[in-house]
Each structure stands twice: as structure tokens, then as C-alpha cells.
């Protein structure tokens, strides 16, 4: 049985590779980075700054399978990133600002929507949950979240996240989350391009998991 542990900084490259591969078909991420040719580079830049700031001032957990980082969860603790929310935010904004059009504009529009919908009370924030495509459906996503789920339950703190794929709602609901808010993302693209894989309008959903006395199931 694989074990979950905090990611070591020297494993950054493997973790980032897993995240980029995992989000290659995510409708929101591909709205940000629609070109197949530039997706690996742009997604690596975007997820790289999230990974780095969470390694420094948050929590990053990993599951290794056969020497490969097979699943990753990236977290911001209650109260914000420990290197300072302003510092982490400035690094993130600098990277996003350097992305080419339409990526920077679409990410900024998404962030504006999400920032308005996230809960204001202290909570753990699950910013990224990723499993390598060849290791899906093996329970690794649940496993890589378990340490923070347990910590949140012990402290009586909620967990928040955002997701776009409609299929993810059922996944997270089974793990104790419920939809708190949802909003369609406005864009300057055609209706077909502004839709998820199921043909539904591109929608971001904020989900919340209340602390549970019985822990993770």
C-alpha cells in the first residue's frame, strides 16, 4: 500500500510533471491554456509558482508509486500562506502577468470570481489535487488528502476548494464536500469553446467540507 508523506523540495520536478499531466484535460485549465503546443510550458509556469509557494508556506503532500510522484495535494493553511499572503500573492501575480494572451486575462477573470465566492472564515484551502492519469481510480487522491482532512477535523476547521468539471462534484461530495457557490465564467470566446467536456457552460464551483467528528471516510 502506498504511503502519503510531505513532498520534499528535491521532488519538485516530479510533482510538477504529475500536476501538469493531471490537468491536461481539465476544462478550466484548458480554457486558460487552449493551445496543445504551449500547454506544457504555460501550465508548468502556472502550477510551478503554486507549488513553490505552498512548499515554502503551506502544505504539499505526495504519494509515491514505483519511484514516481503519483499524486499531489497542495494546501494553504487557515490564515493564509505562512510566507505571507501578500508575498505569495505577489509571486503568483508576477508569473500570471508574464503569461501570453489569452492566458493571463482568463486566469485573472477566474481569480476575480473565485475570490468573491470563497468563505471568509478560517479554512484549509485545497488549491490543487492531482493524480497522474496512469494511476487514477486507485484511491490515491483520497490518500494524499487524508493528513490535512484529519488535521482539519481535529481542529474543527472547514476545507474549501474550487473545481470546474461537473464530474468532480460527485467525487468531492463522496468525500464530505457540498457545493457552496457556483458561477459561470464570462469570456470572449465562442459558446463551444466556453464549455466543459460534457458540453455544459464552463462553471466554477466552490465546495466546502465541514469538520467531522468521525474523521475521513
- Among residues 146, 112, 117, 113, which one has the least CA distance to residue 129? 146
Q: Is the entire prediction scored with pTM above 0.75? A: yes
DSSP of 82-93 = TT-HHHHHHHHH
Q: What is the mean pLDDT of residues 178-186?
A: 91
pLDDT in tens, 45-86: 999 999 999 999 999 999 999 999 999 999 999 999 999 999
> Strand pairing partners for 60?
74
Which triple of cell numbers denotes residue 144? 494524499
4-155 under CATH 3.40.309.10, yes or no: no
What ranges do the domains of the chain cover? Answer: 4-155
pLDDT in tens, 31-51: 999 999 999 999 999 999 999
Burial class (CB in 10 A: 0-12, 13-18, 19+), 115: exposed
Amino acid at each position: 500500500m502506498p504511503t502519503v508523506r510531505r513532498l520534499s523540495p528535491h521532488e519538485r520536478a516530479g510533482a510538477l510533471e504529475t500536476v501538469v499531466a493531471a490537468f491536461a484535460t481539465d476544462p478550466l485549465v484548458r480554457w486558460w491554456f487552449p493551445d496543445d503546443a504551449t500547454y506544457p510550458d504555460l501550465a508548468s509556469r502556472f502550477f510551478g509558482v503554486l507549488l513553490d509557494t505552498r512548499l515554502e508556506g503551506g502544505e504539499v503532500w505526495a504519494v509515491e508509486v514505483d519511484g514516481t510522484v503519483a499524486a499531489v495535494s497542495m494546501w494553504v493553511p487557515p490564515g493564509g500562506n505562512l510566507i505571507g499572503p501578500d508575498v505569495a500573492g505577489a509571486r503568483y501575480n508576477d508569473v500570471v502577468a508574464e503569461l501570453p494572451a489569452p492566458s493571463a486575462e482568463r486566469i485573472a477573470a477566474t481569480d476575480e470570481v473565485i475570490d468573491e465566492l470563497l468563505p471568509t472564515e478560517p479554512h484549509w484551502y485545497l488549491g490543487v489535487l492531482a493524480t497522474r492519469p496512469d494511476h487514477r481510480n486507485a484511491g490515491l487522491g483520497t490518500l494524499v488528502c487524508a493528513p490535512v482532512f484529519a488535521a482539519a477535523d481535529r481542529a474543527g476547521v472547514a476545507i474549501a476548494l474550487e473545481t470546474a468539471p461537473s464530474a468532480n462534484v460527485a467525487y468531492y461530495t463522496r468525500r464530505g464536500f457540498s457545493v457552496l457557490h457556483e458561477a459561470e465564467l464570462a469570456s470572449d470566446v465562442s459558446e463551444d469553446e466556453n464549455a466543459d467536456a460534457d458540453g455544459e457552460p464552463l462553471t466554477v464551483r466552490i465546495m466546502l467540507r465541514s469538520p467531522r467528528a468521525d474523521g475521513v471516510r
